[in-house]
Amino acid sequence: MRIAITAPTGNIGRRLCEILSEGEHNLILLARSPDKVQQLVDKGAEVRQGTLDDQRFVVEATMGVDALFWLTPADPATSDLRAQQNEVGKVAALAISENKIRRVVNLSSVGAHLGSATGPINGLCDVEKQLDVVAEHIVHLRPASFYENNFASLDSIKANGHIYLPLSGDTMCPMIATRDIATVAAEQLLDTEQSGRRIVELEGSTRMSFAEAAQQIGEGLGRDVQHIQVPAEKVREALEGMGAGASFIDSLIELYEGIESGQVTFEGGEAVHVNTPASMAEFPRDTMKPMLAGCIRSVQALPALRPSRYFRGRQIQSLSMP
């Protein structure tokens, strides 16, 4: 099977490629920086250099593929985040239609069925609808908040044992490890028995509050870690200092408000709901602890985004719940 993978340098994409490379599949990697996927190329993958907002590039790069893993990037400097996400979604829809790609797995997010008051997830809702029109067989993965979002707090954890978020500690939030998302994505790409449109909701083994998550992170790291609620304006100041635009910042704060109010939830109904095995208790020990050794840049109230965040003028590979 020829499978095109977008964002192969991200936490999900890289692990997905590793899983699929173990089988007899031809992987086509759509990457901005080919040098970052050289290890995958050494294993036999083909790399096509370009960006996912480039219509010609995406159409040409996905010619002849049997399946596509799609992830909608977000530009933190854009003047209109939802419009930018929609434009990228149109590129994906055109490639699927032009190349008659039979199977599509689209990375979306919990809350994508709502379409409003969910910040960056609003755009992912729009992309789902765009792809539904053109895809013969499509699976929308709607994962919960990533354990890896806590990478944004490594500096403050090392400095003073704090995780800063504009959310109360007792706010409940489903969470998941990205490696488990990649495992499910691989299963869905290779499952030729299922057909039509499907929603697969994903969360980890146990749902917990932000305070409980901080406690488990501390236990895994062997030190005291506490969740500290900060005003949303602290997040705004931090992101402005990193070059993010007003649309991106406003969208993220809207998402925080939706989480705090309990509005951002799974759809349920006919959606398939999967609880994946990796627990928050093991995540900090296996993943965060090795990263702490060389980590200290600045201590401030940072919003919990994915590790590719905060680079002026560059896209964030995807957005889910913080």
Q: pLDDT tens per residue, the chain (322 residues)? A: 999 999 999 999 999 999 999 988 999 999 999 999 999 999 999 999 999 999 999 999 999 999 999 999 999 999 999 999 999 999 999 999 999 999 999 999 999 999 999 999 999 999 999 999 999 999 999 999 999 999 999 999 999 999 999 999 999 999 999 999 999 999 999 999 989 999 999 999 999 999 999 999 999 999 999 999 999 999 999 999 999 999 999 999 999 999 999 999 999 999 999 999 999 989 999 999 988 876 654 334 344 433 333 333 344 444 455 5
Phi/psi of residue 38, nearest 5 degrees? -60, -35
Pick the closest to residue 292 from 225, 230, 206, 221 (CA basis): 221
Identify the pLDDT of residue 195: 92
Nearest-angstrom CA–CA distance, 300 and 159: 10
DSSP state of 73: -
Strand partners, 226: 162
pLDDT digits (tens, 9 = 90+) for 174-198: 999 999 999 999 999 999 998 999 9
DSSP for 119-188, please give it: TTHHHHHHHHHHHHHH-SEEEEEEE-EEGGGGGGGHHHHHHHSEEEESS-TT-EE-EE-HHHHHHHHHHH
Identify the pLDDT of residue 280: 93
Nearest-angstrom CA–CA distance, 132 and 109: 16
Which amino acid is residue 15, in one-letter code?
R
Structure token digits, residue 174: 């489903």
Identify the pLDDT of residue 292: 87
The answer to whether the beta carbons of residues 225 and 56 sit under 8 Å apart is: no
Nearest-angstrom CA–CA distance, 128 and 139: 10
pLDDT digits (tens, 9 = 90+) for 22-78: 988 999 999 999 999 999 999 999 999 999 999 999 999 999 999 999 999 999 999
Identify the pLDDT of residue 310: 32
Q: CA angle, 176 as apex, 81 and 66 as ends, to 5°?
A: 70
Length of the chain measured in residues: 322
Residues in CB range of 158: below 8 A, 6 or more apart: 292, 295, 296
